[in-house]
Amino acid sequence: MPDLLRPHWFQILLSLSSGTMHGSAIMDEVLERTEGRMKLWPATLYGSLRDLEEAGWIQDSVPPPDAPVEGGKRRFYVLTPSGERVLREELRHMHAILEEARERDLLGDAGAV
Amino acid sequence: MKRRRSVPLVGLLLRLYPARFRDRYASEIEESLGGLLRAAGERGRWRWMLVWLRGIADLLKGAVRERLRSGRGKKPAMESSTMGVGEMMGTLVRDIRLAFRKLRKEPLFLLVAAGSLAIGIGANTAVFSAANELLVRPLPGIPNYERVVELGRTDRGSGFDTFSYPDFLDIREEIPSLAAAAAFTIEIMSVSREAEGVRAAGFHVSPAYFEILGATPALGRFFLPEEDIGVGQHFVAVVSHAFWTERLGRDPDVIGSTLYLNRLAYTVVGVTGEGFGGHMIGFQPDVLMPMAQLPVMNGGRNEFDARNASWHMALGLLSEDATLEGLNTELAALAQRLAAAYPGSNETRGFRAVPLGPIPGGGRSGVRLFVTVLIAMVVLILLVTCTNIAGMFLARAVSREREVAVRVALGAGRGAIVQQLTIETLMVFAVGGGAGIAIGLWGVGLLNPDVLPLPVPVRFAIEPDPRVIAFATLVTLVTGLLFGLLPAAGATAVDVVTSIRDEGRGGGRRAGRARRVFAGAQVGLSLVLLVTAGLFMRSLQRAASIDTGFDPTGAYVTYIDLSLEGYAEESGRAFQASLLESLASEAWVSAASLSIDLPLDLSSSGTAVTPQGWDEDDRLATDFNRVSDAYFETLGIPILRGRSFGPADGPDAPRAAIVSERFGAEAWPGEEALGRTFQLRHVDGQVTYEIVGIVKDTKNQLITESPKPFMYLSLRQTYAPGVQVVVRTNPGAGSASARLREALSAADPNMSVGGVASLETYTALGVLPQRLAAGITGALGLVALLLSGLGIYGVVSYAVGRQQREIGIRMALGADRRGVTMRFVRGGLLMALPGIVIGMVVSVAIGQVLQALLLDLSPRDPVAFGAVGVVLLSVVLLATWIPARRAARVDPAESLRQE
Identify residue B374 by its one-letter amino acid code: L
DSSP B628-696: -TTHHHHHTPPEEEE----TTS-TTSPEEEEEEHHHHHHHSTTS--TT-EEEEEETTEEEEEEEEEEE-
Dist CA B787 CA B791 (whole Å): 6
pLDDT score for B436: 81
Instruction: Please compute the mean of the pLDDT values over residues B743-758 and round it to a whole number.
Output: 76
Instruction: Please compute the mean of the pLDDT values over residues B528-551 and round it to a whole number.
Output: 83
Contact yes or no for B176/B330 (Cβ under 8 A): yes
Residue in B28, B62, B77 nearest the CB of A23? B28
Dist CA A16 CA A20 (whole Å): 6
Closest CA to B749 of B760, B738, B757, B741: B741
Length of chain B (residues): 899
Decide if B24 touches A, using CB distance below 8 A.
yes
Chains A and B: how many Cβ contacts under 8 Å? 68
More confident residue, B762 or B818: B818
Q: Which of A65-74, B215-224, B418-427 has the largest mean confidence?
A: B215-224
Structure confidence at residue B173 as a pLDDT band (50, 70, 90): very high
Q: Please tell me which residue of chain A has the smallest CA distance to B65.
A: A47
Tens-place pLDDT, residues B821-862: 888 888 888 888 888 899 899 889 888 877 877 777 888 888
pLDDT score for B402: 67
Decide if B21 touches A, using CB distance below 8 A.
yes
Contact yes or no for B487/B397 (Cβ under 8 A): yes
Tens-place pLDDT, residues B349-375: 899 999 888 777 766 777 777 778 778
**For residue B288, pLDDT beyond 90:** yes
Contact yes or no for A7/A40 (Cβ under 8 A): no
How many angstroms separate the CA of residue B464 from the nearest CA in chain A? Answer: 27
Lowest mean pLDDT among B72-81, B335-344, B527-536: B72-81
Identify residue A45 by its one-letter amino acid code: L
More confident residue, B811 or B751: B811
Q: Note whether ipTM > 0.90 here.
A: no
**For residue B743, pLDDT beyond 80:** yes
How many angstroms separate the CA of residue A109 from the nearest CA in chain B? Answer: 31
pLDDT score for B823: 84
Contact yes or no for B583/B589 (Cβ under 8 A): yes
**For residue B449, pLDDT beyond 60:** no
pLDDT score for B79: 38
**For residue B660, pLDDT beyond 90:** yes
Residue in B2, B29, B59 nearest the CB of A72? B2
User: Residue A25: CB partners within 8 Å, gap ≥ 6?
Assistant: none
The chain A residues in contact with chain B (CB within 8 A) are: 3, 5-6, 9, 22-24, 27, 41-47, 49-52, 54-55, 70-75
Dist CA B734 CA B590 (whole Å): 13
Q: What is the pTM of this model?
A: 0.58
Dist CA B807 CA B798 (whole Å): 13
Q: Quick one: DSSP state of residue B163?
A: B
User: Residue B7: CB partners within 8 Å, gap ≥ 6?
Assistant: B30, B33, B34, B37, B52, B55
Q: Please tell me which residue of chain A has the smallest CA distance to B59.
A: A43
Instruction: Please compute the mean of the pLDDT values over residues A82-110 and round it to a whole number.
Output: 85
Looking at chain B, the number of H-run helices and the number of E-run strands are: 28, 22
Ordered strands of the A76-79 beta sheet: A21-22, A76-79, A58-61
pLDDT score for B460: 57
Mean pLDDT over all residues of chain B? 80
Dihedral sign, CA of B421, B427, B430, B433? negative
pLDDT score for B454: 47
**By three-state DSSP, how is residue B611 classified?**
strand
Contact yes or no for B468/B124 (Cβ under 8 A): yes
Structure confidence at residue B655 as a pLDDT band (50, 70, 90): very high
More confident residue, B2 or B338: B338
- Rg of chain A (C-alpha set): 16
Instruction: Please compute the mean of the pLDDT values over residues B374-386 and round it to a whole number.
Output: 78
Tens-place pLDDT, residues B104-125: 777 777 877 788 788 787 888 8
Say whether B28 and A46 touch across the interface (CB within 8 A).
Answer: yes
Backbone φ and ψ for B660, nearest 5 degrees, come out as -80, 160
Strand ranges in B345-500 using DSSP code E only, listed in sequence order? 349-355
Dist CA B620 CA B608 (whole Å): 5
How many angstroms separate the CA of residue B3 from the nearest CA in chain A? Answer: 9
Instruction: Please compute the mean of the pLDDT values over residues B368-391 and round it to a whole number.
Output: 77
The angle subtended at Cα B595 by Cα B591 and Cα B596, nearest 5°, is 165
Q: Residue B350's beta-bridge partner residues?
A: B154
Burial class (CB in 10 A: 0-12, 13-18, 19+), B47: middle
User: Residue B853: CB partners within 8 Å, gap ≥ 6?
Assistant: B369, B370, B373, B536, B539, B769, B770, B773
